[in-house]
Structure 1
Amino acid sequence: MHGALPATLILLAAAVLAVVACRQLKLPALLGYLIVGIVIGPNALALLPNSEDTSYLAEFGIVFLMFSIGLEFSLPKLKALRHSVFGLGAGQVLATIALTLPLAWFGHLPWAASVALGGALAMSSTAIVSTLLNERVELNTPHGQQIIGVLLFQDLAVVPLLILIPALANPAGGVIEALGWATFKAIIVLTILLYYGQKLMRPWFHMVAKQRSKELFIINLLLVTLGIAYLTSLAGLSLALGAFLAGMLISETEYRYQVEDDIRPFQDVLLGLFFVTVGMRLNFATLEQQWPLLLLFLVLLIPLKALLIFGLSRLMRSPSSVAWRTALSLAQAGEFGFVLIALAHGHQLLPPNLEQALLGAILLSMLVAPFLMQKRDALVRRFVASEWLNESLNLTQIAVQSMLARNHVILCGYGRSGQNLARLLEREEIHFFALDLDPERVREAAAAGDSVVFGDAGKREVLMAAGLSRAQAVVVTFSDTHMALRILSHVQALKPGLPVIVRTFDETDVDKLKEAGAVEVVAEVMEGSLMLASHVLMLLGTPLNRVLQHIRSVREERYDLFRGFFRGATDDSDDPSEQDQPRLHSVLITEEAASVGKSLGELRVAELVEIKAIKRRNIKGVEPSDEVVVNVGDVLVLLGRPARLAKAEARLLEG
């Protein structure tokens, strides 16, 4: 026991360091686990033995991964994406397997090994691609929907491959019989579980949930998942197939989302251990001898897979730009390739030298995937001559629709938050111009008369076409820090001092966003807690004015902008109290300004207004103390009444 503890501690420490490094480099955590396995495995530092117990425990990672895929299995989702799933997805998997069959003749491999090889290479990385699509806000684009459809079929194709590969491991004379017997058993097990499981699962989970015990709920979840997996293994099928069926059964109940949250820690930890064991199998001594084969696999994998997917996508009448984006996004191999190779190796279908070359090629292709996605648009413009024209036409349409807009608000995203904000702006007769990447939403909203166009707000030229130079504010209405930082970077480069308000989920990235130039960051969790507190206080009998006072005081402490606002042309009002209300005002220091080279203490601006912030070199990070010297290009954000703001601006610019 004590002898195993140091190795376990080394494994945990190495995993933490590797995953942190991958997060910093914007790479998936599974690559960190693979690197850990390579470093501490028996073929490198030999800090952790590649024992049968470790491999058996790692198999549970695949069990929980297949369970999660089962949870995502949805007939309505399959129906919505049926052309991409059963057209492009099925064609890609079958064609990849068919193209690897000639290796049985040229590479002197058994045809069963070629099928296993084709199945492994047909997979793409769901973890990497879906994460990058989400970060780039491309899930609802035409190529995003096509990519998700292909990934969905690949995930589903793993299930029959998990049945097929063990059957192919039988002697040549008994393959057909073994495969037929395995298929027959799978049909019987599927029929029994899906028929009776549907009737038993909901009342069983309902009974457990009535006990109101989280520990009992998780124990029951493990019992159901591992129990069904064990039943399928008794029938001669895989544990992973049983876990997939368990996920399918639970996905039809109202407990699906709770189950998904509860199972994630088990899945992540055990799946991480699986990838560590994959890395432990990599033998650099063998790879060094087999480097021509590794290079051949890597060179053939990405270009040929991309060309295959592009051709199939074009056969389905997709535009060239969509087909290329889909192909380049799915050109790498994936984590299920490791699963299928491990299964084939366990049944001795693949020789060790071929297994090592495959593992190395899959790992390197996954490392290349994020960089390929970054350069994808540039490659598409090189491959598709009309792409430049299409982008120019799109920018022209945006520019034409925004041409007459002055002092408008640019809304980045037109989801629920963006639409609610747009309605409030319309009531105040403030013009807005919205950019969104969901073509269906844009079509519906534009048909209804809303000022919204299809465009990526993360692109510099799109913001310029939307009239950024004439806008009075920019609002990022979706909760995506990565995209918000990109928008802030463009705004600060094109029009320093333009107020940008950003929405975020919680307060984790508030400082990062403010340092990037956001005037204010609105956290959903904060606003939700304030609304919850106001309702509770009202129901407990607290007077309305006191409730509003509490909410206002918290907001003033949390949100500086609640103590003022930027004035625009649409702010005119006949109410004298509104005209004299404190507001925010940005002053850009030019070369001719009298305040250049002087300290804030010398200028005595603080006697007139409050200096809220100083933006220098597009970074809001200078504390407005008396010792700060004003430089050319600084933007001073002032808070005060209109008359005092005018005096302060005159003092800064004219002296």
Structure 2
Amino acid sequence: TLTYVEPLRDIFASLFFASIGMLIDPVFLWKNLELILGLVALAFIGKFLIITPLVKLFRYPLKTALIAGFGLAQIGEFSFVLASEGQALGLVSRQIYLLILGTTAVTLVLTPFVLRLVPIVFDWLESMPWLKPYLSGEGKPLEVAEELPIKDHIVVCGYGRVGKNLVKLLQQHDLPVVVIDQSERRIQELREAGVPYVYGNCVSFYVLETAMVSQAKGMAIALPDPMSIRLCLKRALELSPDLDVVVRATSDKNIEVLYQLGAREVVQPEFEASLEMATYILNAVGFSSVVVQREMQEIRNRHYLDLRPEQSASQVSRHLRQATQDLNNRWYALPETSPLIGMTLEEADMRYLTGVSLMAIRRANGEEIDYPDASTKLEKGDRLLVVGSDEEFAALEEFAVGRAAVPGDNSACQWVIVNADCPVLGKTLADLHIREKYGVQVQSMRRDGKFIRFPNGKMELQAQDQLLLCGSLTSLNQIEQLFAPLNSQLLSVPVVKASEAEALKDYLPMDSVID
């Protein structure tokens, strides 16, 4: 029925606005231009000042409230109907009627342009340090469950149908779970079910920190909004670069974007339904279940490419631009003398060491590689489309020119935690002379939900600070003396090449070596 009705709806909507246009008197608009512009400003400002606080009152983030305020600031088209009836009943004079028509029409015309300007305004406001925390979704949790797992738990973002079923299955296997959601109704369901929760926005660093993402064993993102999914994934991996994250893709077009941002596994519900149905039918007609399962897993490993519709290079490129336009992105020209030239993306490990996500490469000959894989080599003259924060872009520039630690044959990086009883507590990084004495570089720091690339030497170390130390394996072993109480607190040692595993065994306990 909807298929038949929708074209008629579009026709009547067009007819409605065309008829409104015919009612407007251009001469009247021109003669009363100043008055109408004043009424337009009054309507925009007045409705914005009413709607924004109301949305904020319902505990939505400030950015959401502002977008709602701008988006609903125009006068609705129903006012045409009311004004017509008012004139027919003698309640509204002809002049007032024409003023209402003119003002409403102008607000409707201006609204799309205002909404296009909103992201530019937000970018400008977020450049101000004192405003950025309020606009970037970094709100504090509104409420936290009393008993929250703090280690080796699973974080589930979103408690809709998918999230609810996922939590149920995890609990059946006695796995500790923490759910993040910002819907009061769903939080009430979590309270009644006795499920640990954090009430807040999943894209907030503070909310993710409260859910102890850095200590979690895994994370599942089942949000309905593609933009929130991408931001949540990016920020969770900034807090815990080795976190095992599985993401539900809302459409097949988002699959590669999510993999490129660092998701370990991306699940597309429609494709999964097809695979499960095919598995059942193939098993029913006599195919070996082992062979069928292997084939289905190969399709998953290829990111559902066998099921996705064919797209031209221009279509893929256009979608990539659309997917990254709401993220902070830029094209970065790789310096001609960069030590990264000739390295594969797996060897460079840019996302882990700088935080940026590489989405595309444009070669010097004009060739463009969208969603490059780990085996892609960086070449002289490459321009990189990267997504990240301003701090991460600065880190990439340091990294690309060799001023930051670059993976080599005998180097690695590891995270350490500053405990309350650590002898370096209260000292500045400059006091420790880590680079001069040990040849080890402090590449990054995590503190209070913030990810700081190349921290200033004047920063004093505080309890629970996490430092990313990069250098030779021998130097990293020696520097453990500085962080003596932290021997049991090493978080991870990423091994760039498999051949380094044997070397690592000489310096670290066997259970610390990543296979």
Instruction: Decide which of 348, 356, 365 is 1:618's aligned counterpart.
Output: 356
2:141 maps to what in 1? Answer: 395
1:263 Cα deviation after fit: 2.1
Q: Call closer, same or farther: CA 1:369–1:529 in 2, change over 3 Å.
A: same
Could you report, residue by residue, the CA deviation over 1:361-401 in whole angstroms, capped at 9, with x for unpaired residues?
4443575578789999xx9xxxxxxxx9xx99963743975
SS at match of 2:272: helix
Could you report, residue by residue, the CA deviation over 1:191-233 in whole angstroms, capped at 9, with x for unpaired residues?
xxxxxxxxxxxxxxxxxxxxxxxxxxxxxxxxxxxxxxxxxxx
Q: Is the 8 A contact 2:145 2:197 kept in 1?
A: no
1:360 maps to what in 2? Answer: 106
1:523 Cα deviation after fit: 0.8
Q: Is the 8 A contact 2:346 2:496 kept in 1?
A: no
- Structure 1 segment 98-177 matched on structure 2, within 5 A: none
Q: Is the 8 A contact 1:474 1:498 kept in 2?
A: yes
Amino acid at match of 2:301: E
1:524 Cα deviation after fit: 1.0
1:540 Cα deviation after fit: 3.5
Q: Is the 8 A contact 1:414 1:436 kept in 2?
A: yes
Q: Is the 8 A contact 1:338 1:359 kept in 2?
A: no
Q: Is the 8 A contact 2:181 2:202 kept in 1?
A: yes
Instruction: Decide which of 169, 175, 183 is 1:424's aligned counterpart.
Output: 169
Instruction: Decide which of 263, 283, 297 is 2:39's aligned counterpart.
Output: 297
Could you report, residue by residue, the CA deviation over 1:14-47 in whole angstroms, capped at 9, with x for unpaired residues?
xxxxxxxxxxxxxxxxxxxxxxxxxxxxxxxxxx
Cα distance in 2 for partners of 1:273, 1:635 equals 64
2:202 maps to what in 1? Answer: 457
Q: Comparing both structures, which one devotes a greater share of its residues to helix?
A: 1
- Structure 1 segment 466-615 matched on structure 2, within 5 A: 466-558=211-303, 599-600=342-343
Q: Which runs of 5+ in 2 are unaligned?
A: 126-133, 306-338, 360-371, 380-398, 409-493, 508-515
SS at match of 1:420: helix
Could you report, residue by residue, the CA deviation over 1:499-543 in whole angstroms, capped at 9, with x for unpaired residues?
432212331222333344433321111001112212333443444
SS at match of 1:298: helix
Is the counterpart of residue 333 in structure 1 residue 89 in structure 2?
A: no
Q: Is the 8 A contact 1:496 1:618 kept in 2?
A: no
Cα distance in 1 for partners of 2:119, 2:358 equals 31
1:481 Cα deviation after fit: 0.9
Q: Is the 8 A contact 1:406 1:471 kept in 2?
A: yes
Cα distance in 1 for partners of 2:80, 2:274 equals 44
Cα distance in 2 for partners of 1:465, 1:604 equals 31
Cα distance in 2 for partners of 1:279, 1:471 equals 58
Amino acid at match of 1:395: P
Cα distance in 1 for partners of 2:237, 2:250 equals 23
1:308 Cα deviation after fit: 7.0
Cα distance in 2 for partners of 1:261, 1:544 equals 40
Which stretch shifts more, 419-428 or 450-459? 419-428
1:600 Cα deviation after fit: 4.3
Cα distance in 2 for partners of 1:394, 1:434 equals 16
Q: Call closer, same or farther: CA 1:290–1:650 in 2, change over 3 Å.
A: farther
2:157 maps to what in 1? Answer: 412
1:477 Cα deviation after fit: 1.1
Q: Is the 8 A contact 1:396 1:465 kept in 2?
A: no
- Structure 1 segment 2-41 matched on structure 2, within 5 A: none
Q: Call closer, same or farther: CA 1:646–1:546 in 2, change over 3 Å.
A: closer
Q: Is the 8 A contact 1:517 1:618 kept in 2?
A: no
SS at match of 2:302: helix
Could you report, residue by residue, the CA deviation over 1:173-199 in whole angstroms, capped at 9, with x for unpaired residues?
xxxxxxxxxxxxxxxxxxxxxxxxxxx
SS at match of 1:474: strand
2:9 maps to what in 1? Answer: 267
Q: Call closer, same or farther: CA 1:597–1:440 in 2, change over 3 Å.
A: closer
1:228 maps to what in 2? Answer: none
Q: Call closer, same or farther: CA 1:357–1:517 in 2, change over 3 Å.
A: same
Q: Is the 8 A contact 1:413 1:476 kept in 2?
A: yes
Q: Is the 8 A contact 1:504 1:523 kept in 2?
A: yes
2:396 maps to what in 1? Answer: none
Q: Call closer, same or farther: CA 1:392–1:360 in 2, change over 3 Å.
A: closer
Give me the identity figure in percent: 24
Q: Call closer, same or farther: CA 1:644–1:359 in 2, change over 3 Å.
A: closer
Q: Call closer, same or farther: CA 1:310–1:416 in 2, change over 3 Å.
A: closer
Q: Is the 8 A contact 1:468 1:495 kept in 2?
A: yes
Q: Is the 8 A contact 2:279 2:292 kept in 1?
A: yes
Q: Call closer, same or farther: CA 1:364–1:557 in 2, change over 3 Å.
A: closer
SS at match of 2:185: helix
Q: Call closer, same or farther: CA 1:285–1:485 in 2, change over 3 Å.
A: farther
1:290 Cα deviation after fit: 2.0
Amino acid at match of 2:209: M
1:547 Cα deviation after fit: 3.3
Amino acid at match of 1:301: A
Instruction: Decide which of 159, 163, 183 is 1:438's aligned counterpart.
Output: 183
Q: Is the 8 A contact 1:294 1:357 kept in 2?
A: yes
Cα distance in 2 for partners of 1:280, 1:513 equals 48
Q: Call closer, same or farther: CA 1:335–1:597 in 2, change over 3 Å.
A: same
Cα distance in 2 for partners of 1:635, 1:260 equals 57
Q: TM-score, normalised by structure 2?
A: 0.50
SS at match of 2:144: helix
1:467 Cα deviation after fit: 1.7
Could you report, residue by residue, the CA deviation over 1:159-184 in whole angstroms, capped at 9, with x for unpaired residues?
xxxxxxxxxxxxxxxxxxxxxxxxxx
Return the structure number with greater relative CO, CA threshold 8 A, min gap 6.
1
Q: TM-score, normalised by structure 1?
A: 0.41
Amino acid at match of 1:300: L
Q: Is the 8 A contact 1:332 1:366 kept in 2?
A: no
Cα distance in 2 for partners of 1:501, 1:392 equals 22
Q: Which runs of 5+ in 1 are unaligned?
A: 1-258, 380-387, 561-595, 637-641
Q: Is the 8 A contact 1:435 1:456 kept in 2?
A: yes
1:411 Cα deviation after fit: 1.1
Cα distance in 1 for partners of 2:118, 2:341 equals 49
Q: Is the 8 A contact 1:295 1:361 kept in 2?
A: no
Q: Is the 8 A contact 2:153 2:177 kept in 1?
A: yes
Amino acid at match of 1:473: G
Cα distance in 2 for partners of 1:479, 1:634 equals 38
Cα distance in 1 for partners of 2:210, 2:58 equals 25
| Residues paired across the two proteins, number | 335
